[in-house]
């Protein structure tokens, strides 16, 4: 039972002492006050249970407070919290070997960081050093981080600041078919970055962008064009990695490509702050010309947790569960899409799913934010937490801990159906 600070007091402190932005993005009119979590469940301070289909933005990979991961953290806490990679300690090496075993050659060199932004920052630096070029291409709708550099890679205006980030990304996208996308990319090369590309960044399935997928072969063709011009290809697996897409351990494998660099975070630690960059020995050699140091990157506690996460993904077969339950969820959502005029699209793969809401199917105009907020609040009031995203905020995002079951899906489907129906009846 919760006996801590009152809800009013928390809101007061949030107003006075917290980043004012966090007040805006409380998301809900009536905020959720989280107290505890277990696997796919969260409890608020009043003891109310929620099915968590957002997982702290695709972060809780194997389940809140998963007993195995918690035990691994506890054990390590008693042994050694911190030392740096100046010294040689087993947790770091055990983890690097284990993570590397999940990658195809030549992706075998690992840098450990503390977040997705930090991983992408490092990737930018390494790409520039390796290629001698400066420009980066990212895609429309992309999100690659909130640091001054990675804001430049992010194309969603909501996250942009009026101060220059030093560079801006050249965003590509908009068209319906692969040839048009590729034509746009070629045009970008011709007009914006002739022969100067350092890197092309892409999420295998966009996260914040609203589960946006690319046409078949797009990444393959794009990688070829980038490499022909001396650039390297980076897959941002911050959301799609660690089996979330179900069919593969990494999202890039679903596109039949091998990137030159892969960045990851979120699910890597099941909620423990951690990130990584994996690259080739060749690129690592270019980077080794300078001295790179990161106090917490590869910290023993983080490595013990992440190592246990990898074991748990295997032991609990969470990738297979993502595929099975995710496919079921999408099939059920597709039925609702056919039933309601305002559900425009259901897409994604495994447990990285987007439900795009529209005014009507003919116009495909985004459902306005107030309407999105109403449905969203209703879903929450009935006990399910989902996310919102995409360029116009028109897409519900579903990316639960990978331990959810078909019964959870049935519960969510009943709730979502009811919320959409409620909205249709009210308007």
For ligand PMP, the binding residues (CB under 6 A) are: 57, 115-117, 120, 143-146, 203, 207-208, 236, 238-239, 265
Q: Which is closer to ligand PMP, CB of 51 or CB of 139?
A: 139
Closest residue to ligand PMP using C-beta atoms: 116
Q: DSSP alpha helices (H): ranges in 240-297?
A: 281-287
Q: Which is closer to ligand PMP, CB of 63 or CB of 269?
A: 269
Q: Which is closer to ligand PMP, CB of 234 or CB of 409?
A: 234
Q: CA 308 to CA 239: how far, in whole Å? A: 19
Q: Which is closer to ligand PMP, CB of 146 or CB of 369?
A: 146
Q: Supply 283's token pair.
A: 């690129």
Q: Which is closer to ligand PMP, CB of 350 or CB of 423?
A: 350
Q: Which is closer to ligand PMP, CB of 113 or CB of 322?
A: 113
Residue 144 C-beta: closest distance to ligand PMP, Å = 5
Q: Are 2 and 48 in contact (CB under 8 A)?
A: no
Q: CA 251 to CA 244: how far, in whole Å? A: 8
Residue 203 C-beta: closest distance to ligand PMP, Å = 5
Q: Are 342 and 367 in contact (CB under 8 A)?
A: yes
Residue 146 C-beta: closest distance to ligand PMP, Å = 6
> What is the phi-psi region of residue 132: left when phi exceeds 0, alpha when psi lies from -120 to 50, beta otherwise?
left
Q: Are 127 and 200 in contact (CB under 8 A)?
A: no
Q: What are phi and psi of 102, to 5 degrees?
A: -90, 0
Q: What are phi and psi of 88, to 5 degrees?
A: -100, 120
Give Cβ neighbours of residue 92 (< 8 Å, ≥ 6 apart). 85, 112, 298, 300, 303
> Cα angle vertex 172, ends 171, 177, to 5°?
160
Q: 3-state SS of 190-226? A: HHCCCCCEEEEEECCCCCCCCCCCCCCCHHHHHHHHH
Residue 336 C-beta: closest distance to ligand PMP, Å = 26
Q: Which is closer to ligand PMP, CB of 189 or CB of 218?
A: 218
Q: CA distances (Å), 79 to each of 6, 89, 91, 270, in order?
A: 35, 12, 11, 21
Q: Are 62 and 242 in contact (CB under 8 A)?
A: no
Q: Which is closer to ligand PMP, CB of 232 or CB of 265?
A: 265
Q: CA 47 to CA 36: how far, in whole Å? A: 9
> Cα dihedral sign for 107, 108, 110, 116?
positive
Q: Which is closer to ligand PMP, CB of 230 or CB of 273?
A: 273
Residue 236 C-beta: closest distance to ligand PMP, Å = 5
Residue 154 C-beta: closest distance to ligand PMP, Å = 8
Residue 143 C-beta: closest distance to ligand PMP, Å = 5
Q: Which is closer to ligand PMP, CB of 222 or CB of 277?
A: 277
Transcribe 371-387 into DSSP letters: HHHHHHHHHHHTTEE-E
Residue 273 C-beta: closest distance to ligand PMP, Å = 8
Residue 115 C-beta: closest distance to ligand PMP, Å = 3
Residue 351 C-beta: closest distance to ligand PMP, Å = 14
Q: Which is closer to ligand PMP, CB of 402 or CB of 415?
A: 402
Residue 354 C-beta: closest distance to ligand PMP, Å = 13
The 10 Å Cβ neighbour count of residue 167 is 13
């Amino acid at each position: 039972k919760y006996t801590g600070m009152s809800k009013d007091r928390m809101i007061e402190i949030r107003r006075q002492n917290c980043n004012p932005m966090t007040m805006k993005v409380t998301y809900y009119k009536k905020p959720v006050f989280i107290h505890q979590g277990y696997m796919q469940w969260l409890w608020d301070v009043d003891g109310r249970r929620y099915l968590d289909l957002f997982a702290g933005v695709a972060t809780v990979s194997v389940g809140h407070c998963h007993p195995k991961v918690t035990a691994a953290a506890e054990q390590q806490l008693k042994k050694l919290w911190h030392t740096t990679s100046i010294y040689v300690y087993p947790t770091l090496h055990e983890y690097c070997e284990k993570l590397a075993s999940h990658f195809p050659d030549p992706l075998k060199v690992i840098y450990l960081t503390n977040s997705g932004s930090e991983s992408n920052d490092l990737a930018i630096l390494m790409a520039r050093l390796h290629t001698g070029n400066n420009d980066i291409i990212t895609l429309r709708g992309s999100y690659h981080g909130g640091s001054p550099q990675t804001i430049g890679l992010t194309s969603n205006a909501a996250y942009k600041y009026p101060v220059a980030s030093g560079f801006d990304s050249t965003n590509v996208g908009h068209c319906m078919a692969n040839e048009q996308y590729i034509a746009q990319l070629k045009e970008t090369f011709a007009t914006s970055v002739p022969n100067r590309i350092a890197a092309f960044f892409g999420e295998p399935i966009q996260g914040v962008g609203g589960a946006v997928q690319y046409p078949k072969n797009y990444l393959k063709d794009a990688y070829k064009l980038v490499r022909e011009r001396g650039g390297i290809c980076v897959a941002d697996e911050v959301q799609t990695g660690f089996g979330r897409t179900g069919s593969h351990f990494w999202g890039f494998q679903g596109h039949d490509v091998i990137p030159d660099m892969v960045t990851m975070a979120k699910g890597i630690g099941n909620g423990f702050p951690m990130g990584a960059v994996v690259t080739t020995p060749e690129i690592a050699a270019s980077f080794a010309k300078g001295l790179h140091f990161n106090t917490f990157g590869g910290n023993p506690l983080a490595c013990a947790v992440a190592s246990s996460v990898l074991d748990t993904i295997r032991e609990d077969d969470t990738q297979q569960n993502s595929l099975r339950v995710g496919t079921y969820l999408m099939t059920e959502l597709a039925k609702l899409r056919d039933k309601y005029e305002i559900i425009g699209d259901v897409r994604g793969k495994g447990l990285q799913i987007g439900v795009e809401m529209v005014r009507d199917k003919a116009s495909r105009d985004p459902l306005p934010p107030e309407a999105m907020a109403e449905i969203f609040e209703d879903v929450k009031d009935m006990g399910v937490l989902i996310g919102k995203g995409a360029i116009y905020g028109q897409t519900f995002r579903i990316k639960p801990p990978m331990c959810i079951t078909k019964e959870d899906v049935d519960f969510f489907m009943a709730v979502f159906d009811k919320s959409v129906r409620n909205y249709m009846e009210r308007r």
